Structure 1
């Protein structure tokens, strides 16, 4: 019986993976909405405990989340657009400097054919393309306007995400209870305990990691801006966003910031403030942000996080990247449960006694 249930579970898992693969082009708004609903459900439950009707509590949470998102977009979009414009305009100069100073050194030391390292044409193409586009927003609008299908897809996602988020948030507790009722009675207690542990781990990971990403993005962006790096805000925001993969945000950010500062000043001594900014960020992440905001309840090794993100992206594309870390966090709970069951099994005790 247990073997049959195991095979049934494996078949259901394989079928779910196959369906995610087939439906991945349309799943993005639903996954984003589910993530927002999951993050907002604890606040809605708290407001409901304060005698607010569920629908009114959801409306309050929905408005708060919308205001936070809208404020972030209105604050960051102009800054990032200006930073991207400055980067595109500065790239021809960077490429010209490389072509004049670095490439001759590489040709003389490594014997590389200069035809393969000519960056002047690339600089000209970049400059011409940016002038024709007229800026980041204009280029984006021009690209979207060429394809009515792409524009329709963007608009559909923008409309679907808040609608689906509202209904999922309103009925979240009811959906969870309905799924619990589908479980066989003999496994309900174990399943509820596992689900509770998985919810604790997943909630701590999502809310904590998002807070760490935000904090690191602020630290990096403000620090790089204070030391005078023209692209500091853009690099800091990107480093904070990709910091959900261990050391990726730090590595990508410090490489980009060092390169940008060197191109900006052409002085090696100017790189020390960049190293200080990222050093302070790493110390704050390991000593303050992660222990305070995430804690030690996740149990995901950095190697497993990197593998999960790469595997999710390889199997399911962008949808796989979105699902990788939440699925890995839940799987870690089940693996720990299986490990405890194995350590308490008669097979393990008999093997331990024989040794």
Structure 2
């Protein structure tokens, strides 16, 4: 005999409350395990494919681990030092770039940039804030997010957790399936399949899009000669999962830096004198890089890798990231996407049940 609906709701409500309280108090502790589980989830299809090709599970995990280790070493040697150096340089250069902007506006719009005008005072305030807070910002980032102990813990525990979970993934899912309540096992399995399809489309597909576009932006901007091209590409690729925002933010930042770098910096022979002109070609190339990236994302990458029905609306995703990030910090942001996917799938299932019920149809359709 099945438990009454009220008792089931009570038990599941208690389980949800325990989960949220645990997330609240153990956020920093469970961070490596959340990251390791996410990595294992993303790599499990690759391990399954290697098994279908004839490898054992241990051999498949070993191959994936060796490839990941090789990629990680390449990042450590080639990319990460340059990324950190460009980030620090950009923060240090920001006050000078802002002063140049203020000077250019003063020369071109003297009436707007009068010492007593509101615009001038606001720009002055922003410039002083950048100059005073820039160093504090990078020091805070280095001391909190990139602390030595945290780095060591993440670099050691996350790969170990990911390897063990990837090795035992099928057994874990089978064990969880065996513990499902028998009265609702078919419904839960269907919801789990829908959630997995949503997460696979978004995390694996959109993650691949972010990686491809971030690499493209970084390499193309560096080849175009833009200073800080690597960090701009990294930022643009990181937020590409939000439609149009990645290209808009990255393009605005890149074009702005290109204007500072190439405006009035090219020597142009003019008879017997040498004047300084603007390299509009370089600026146009930088803008064209993001235009091409937006075209590739909308017409090739996203349709091929993500598909048309992800099930996570950008507004819902941003709301979930904001709420969970505010309540539970960085760990909350990591679990926001899967929880948002689960809530979305359950909500759609609940809506379908509602439309099949008498509460929606009424008795008139049965008459």
TM bucket normalised to smaller: 0.7 to 0.9
- Quick check: 1:95–1:120 contact (8 Å CA) kept in 2? yes
Matched with 1:204 is 201
- Quick check: 2:115–2:121 contact (8 Å CA) kept in 1? no
Q: Deviations over 1:283-305 (max 9, x none)?
A: 11111111000002311112112
- Quick check: 2:23–2:328 contact (8 Å CA) kept in 1? yes
Give 3-state SS (helix, strand or coil) of 2:347's partner: helix
> Is 1:24–2:30 an aligned residue pair?
no
- Distance (Å, rounded) in 1 between the aligned partners of 2:355 and 2:216: 44
Which moves more between the two structures, 45-54 or 293-302? Answer: 45-54
State the Cα distance separating 1:95 from its structure 2 match. Answer: 3.4
- Quick check: 1:246–1:306 contact (8 Å CA) kept in 2? no
Q: Deviations over 1:101-157 (max 9, x none)?
A: 436665428724977727887787799x69xxxxx9xx899x66xx9x943333122
Q: Summarize the Cα distance change of 1:192–1:236 in structure 2 as closer, same or farther, 3 Å threshold.
A: same
Matched with 2:219 is 222
TM-score by length of 2: 0.82
> Is 1:313–2:325 an aligned residue pair?
yes
Q: How does 1:100-111 map to 2 (within 5 A)?
A: 100-102=103-105, 106-108=112-114, 111=117
Indicate the RMSD between aligned Cα atoms, in angstroms: 3.2
- Distance (Å, rounded) in 1 between the aligned partners of 2:363 and 2:293: 48
> Is 1:297–2:332 an aligned residue pair?
no
Which moves more between the two structures, 51-60 or 79-88? Answer: 79-88
Q: Summarize the Cα distance change of 1:276–1:51 in structure 2 as closer, same or farther, 3 Å threshold.
A: closer
Give 3-state SS (helix, strand or coil) of 2:311's partner: coil
Give 3-state SS (helix, strand or coil) of 1:299's partner: coil
Q: Deviations over 1:149-179 (max 9, x none)?
A: 9433331222111111111111111111111
Which moves more between the two structures, 186-195 or 27-36? Answer: 186-195
Q: How does 1:140-155 map to 2 (within 5 A)?
A: 150-155=147-152
Which moves more between the two structures, 203-212 or 72-81? Answer: 72-81
State the Cα distance separating 1:33 from its structure 2 match. Answer: 0.3
- Distance (Å, rounded) in 2 between the aligned partners of 1:37 and 1:158: 15
State the Cα distance separating 1:352 from its structure 2 match. Answer: 7.3
- Distance (Å, rounded) in 1 between the aligned partners of 2:74 and 2:128: 41
- Quick check: 1:99–1:118 contact (8 Å CA) kept in 2? no
Q: Deviations over 1:169-190 (max 9, x none)?
A: 1111111111111112121122
Q: How does 1:115-194 map to 2 (within 5 A)?
A: 117=124, 150-194=147-191
Q: Summarize the Cα distance change of 1:320–1:48 in structure 2 as closer, same or farther, 3 Å threshold.
A: same
- Indicate which of 236, 239, 244 corresponds to 1:242: 239
Q: Summarize the Cα distance change of 1:178–1:289 in structure 2 as closer, same or farther, 3 Å threshold.
A: same
Q: Summarize the Cα distance change of 1:351–1:26 in structure 2 as closer, same or farther, 3 Å threshold.
A: farther
Give 3-state SS (helix, strand or coil) of 1:108's partner: coil
Q: Deviations over 1:56-109 (max 9, x none)?
A: 322222222222233233331243244335435543531332343436665428
> Is 1:9–2:16 an aligned residue pair?
no
Q: Deviations over 1:201-221 (max 9, x none)?
A: 212211101110012112322
State the Cα distance separating 1:9 from its structure 2 match. Answer: 1.7
State the Cα distance separating 1:14 from its structure 2 match. Answer: 2.2
Matched with 2:275 is none
Which moves more between the two structures, 157-166 or 5-14? Answer: 5-14
Matched with 1:276 is 288
- Quick check: 2:321–2:333 contact (8 Å CA) kept in 1? yes
> Is 1:261–2:247 an aligned residue pair?
no
Q: Deviations over 1:3-22 (max 9, x none)?
A: 22123222321221121011
Q: Summarize the Cα distance change of 1:324–1:246 in structure 2 as closer, same or farther, 3 Å threshold.
A: farther
Which structure dedicates a bigger proportion of its chain to helix? 1
> Is 1:252–2:258 an aligned residue pair?
no
TM-score by length of 1: 0.84
